[in-house]
Amino acid sequence: MSTFPVSPEKADQLAQRMAALGVSEAEIEESFVRSGGHGGQNVNKTSTCVMLVHRPTGLSVKCQETRQQGLNRFIARRVLLDKIEEKQKGGSSTFVMGS
C-alpha cells in the first residue's frame, strides 16, 4: 500500500483493518476526478477527489473532504471499509422491530 499523509499508526490501523476484512489493495479500483465546490482554484485545477470501487462487492465511494489527494485517498478507504463491513454483517442493524 502506498503511504498516506497520516501518522504511521493510522496507516497501520488501515492496513490491519483491510486484512481483517479480507480486502486487498488489488481489489480496489481507484480513480481521480476534479473536485467541485469550496476550496478555491486548487480544486478546479487538480484532481483531488478520489473515487474507489471494490470490485468483488461492487461498492463504491467518492471522497472530496479535503484539498489533499493523499488524505482523500486515506479517508475514502476508511469509508469503503465501513461499507464492506456493513455488507458483511448483513446490512443495517440499526432498525429494530417489535415492542
Q: How far apart are CA 70 and CA 36, in angstroms?
A: 17
What's the rounded mean pLDDT across residues 3-24?
Answer: 94
Greater confidence (36 vs 73) lies with: 73
- Does domain 8-88 sit in CATH 3.30.160.20? yes
- Cα–Cα distances (Å) from 50 to 31, 34, 58, in that order, read 6, 9, 16
Instruction: Give the pLDDT of residue 99.
Output: 39
Residue 34's pLDDT is 80
- Report for 27-31, 45-49, 85-89: range of highest mean pLDDT: 27-31
What are 48-77's pLDDT values in tens digits? Answer: 899 999 999 999 999 999 889 999 999 999
Beta carbons of 61 and 79 less than 8 angstroms apart: yes
